[in-house]
């Protein structure tokens, strides 16, 4: 169900491209069961066959990658032209093909462009009338029935109705887009406030308790030089461990390496810490991506994903990839652990459990995306894609860490 929803939420030109295939099949079936003679049967078959080949190629192109802006209206314009040509060369089968004209304006409504819907709807009505005029001239016995004008009026009404529907959908889409913009701004401000708070806490810990521990350790070292007592060694070891843990906490709250050297070095430092506290073998390929605007988001994602692997995955091998793809930064973290059911993420988030669900909500709110590929017993792969980023000056260079 989820892939189907994602497909219909994609570019409208993809939806119309897929819907075109059964339409061509219906045209072929209609003419096959309509027991009439064609005026130009060879040309009709050639046009219909070429139409089918173009439609299949267009579906492949639409599903494989982004299309230019003119693709949506151009493809529908080709539909109107080819349907009109088929009607003209089909002779007596024209009457069977004419209902197809009523389907074309509906397919344009998917594109959320009222002006385009109005133009295509009007052109379709005109093409319908033109086909009947050509048909009546070729067959004197047929003439131009009054029903043609009625259908022409229906097509004009359909053009107006689909345009109005498209206008309503476009207005709703604009409102939703505005609300999403406000939501992204609020999430961004919340994250900024959270980072500011973390920075203040880190500075207080560094300047207060951590410095006190280091001072106490220095004083203890002076005492140990005068007094030889095994108990002092144990106290010093405890102070050393506490200072190390506190320094690690300060680094997690406010990673200086992230602010000074950028996201790539920040992720590399996370991997060093991850390897020091786990037995996992890490394979990392980190491109130099500079300091993107969303580096705090991606750093937090890498930290939480690695923490989840260390706590729950029971993994032996971990793979981390960081790269720039177009105007976005992509982070991929994979492991060979026990895996889980991705459908449980949303359920646990709704039940009040944070973790991957909260991370996914945070990434989506910022305009990025997070894809989870997992199943019980076969590991987990999480791909986090940043919101659109401006170009960076640093030249990308891949570094194979391990």
Most confident listed range (103-112, 163-172, 178-187, 275-284):
275-284
Which ranges in 292-373 belong to alpha helices (H)?
295-308, 343-350, 356-365
d(CA 195, CA 190): 9
Contact 195, 293 (CB under 8 A): no
Buried b (16+ CB within 10 A) or exposed e, 31-49: beeeeeebbeeeebeebbe
Q: Is the pLDDT of residue 126 over 60?
A: yes
Most confident listed range (3-17, 189-203, 312-326):
312-326
Q: Is the pLDDT of residue 39 over 80?
A: no
Structure tokens at 231: 């108990």
DSSP 324: E
Element (H, E) at 126: helix 114-138
Q: Is 30 left (phi over 0), alpha (psi -120 to 50) or beta?
A: alpha
Please give the CATH architecture assigned to the domain spanning 258-400. Answer: 2-Layer Sandwich (3.30)
Overall pTM > 0.85: no
Going by DSSP bridges, is the β-strand pair 328-335/317-325 parallel, antiparallel, or unpaired? antiparallel
d(CA 315, CA 318): 7
Which ranges in 34-99 belong to alpha helices (H)?
41-64, 71-89, 94-97
d(CA 97, CA 101): 8
More confident residue, 11 or 125: 125
């Amino acid at each position: 169900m989820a892939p189907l929803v994602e497909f219909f939420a994609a570019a409208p030109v993809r939806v119309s491209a897929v819907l075109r295939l059964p339409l061509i099949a219906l045209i072929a079936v209609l003419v096959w069961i309509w027991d009439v003679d064609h005026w130009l049967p060879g040309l009709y078959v050639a046009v219909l066959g070429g139409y089918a080949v173009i439609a299949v190629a267009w579906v492949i192109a639409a599903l494989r990658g982004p299309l230019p802006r003119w693709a949506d209206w151009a493809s529908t314009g080709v539909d109107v032209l080819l349907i009109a040509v088929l009607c003209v060369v089909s002779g007596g089968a024209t009457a069977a093909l004419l209902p197809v004209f009523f389907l074309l304006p509906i397919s344009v409504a998917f594109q959320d462009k009222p002006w385009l819907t109005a133009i295509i709807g009007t052109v379709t009505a005109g093409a319908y009338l033109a086909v009947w005029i050509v048909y009546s001239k070729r067959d004197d016995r047929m003439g131009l029935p009054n029903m043609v004008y009625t259908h022409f009026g229906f097509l004009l009404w359909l053009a107006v109705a689909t345009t109005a529907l498209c206008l309503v959908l476009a207005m709703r889409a604009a409102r939703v887009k505005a609300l999403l913009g406000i939501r992204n701004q609020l999430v961004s401000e919340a994250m900024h406030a959270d980072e500011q708070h973390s920075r203040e806490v880190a500075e207080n810990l560094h300047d207060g308790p951590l410095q006190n521990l280091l001072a106490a350790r220095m004083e203890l070292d002076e005492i140990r030089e005068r007094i030889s007592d095994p108990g002092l060694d144990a106290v010093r070891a405890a102070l050393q461990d506490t200072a190390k843990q506190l320094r690690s906490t300060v680094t997690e709250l406010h990673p200086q390496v992230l602010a000074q050297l950028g996201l790539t070095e920040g992720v590399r430092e996370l991997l060093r810490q991850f390897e020091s506290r786990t037995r996992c073998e890490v394979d990392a390929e980190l491109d130099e991506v500079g300091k993107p605007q969303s580096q705090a988001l991606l750093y937090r994602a890498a930290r939480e994903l690695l923490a989840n692997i260390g706590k729950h995955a029971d993994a032996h091998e971990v793979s981390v990839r960081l790269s720039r793809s177009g105007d976005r930064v992509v982070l991929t973290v994979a492991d060979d652990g026990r895996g889980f059911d991705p459908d449980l993420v949303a359920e646990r988030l709704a039940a009040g459990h944070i973790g991957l669900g909260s991370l996914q909500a945070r990434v989506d709110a910022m305009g990025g995306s997070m894809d989870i590929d997992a199943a019980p017993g076969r590991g987990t792969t999480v791909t986090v894609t940043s919101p659109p980023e401006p170009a960076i000056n640093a030249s990308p260079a891949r570094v194979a860490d391990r």
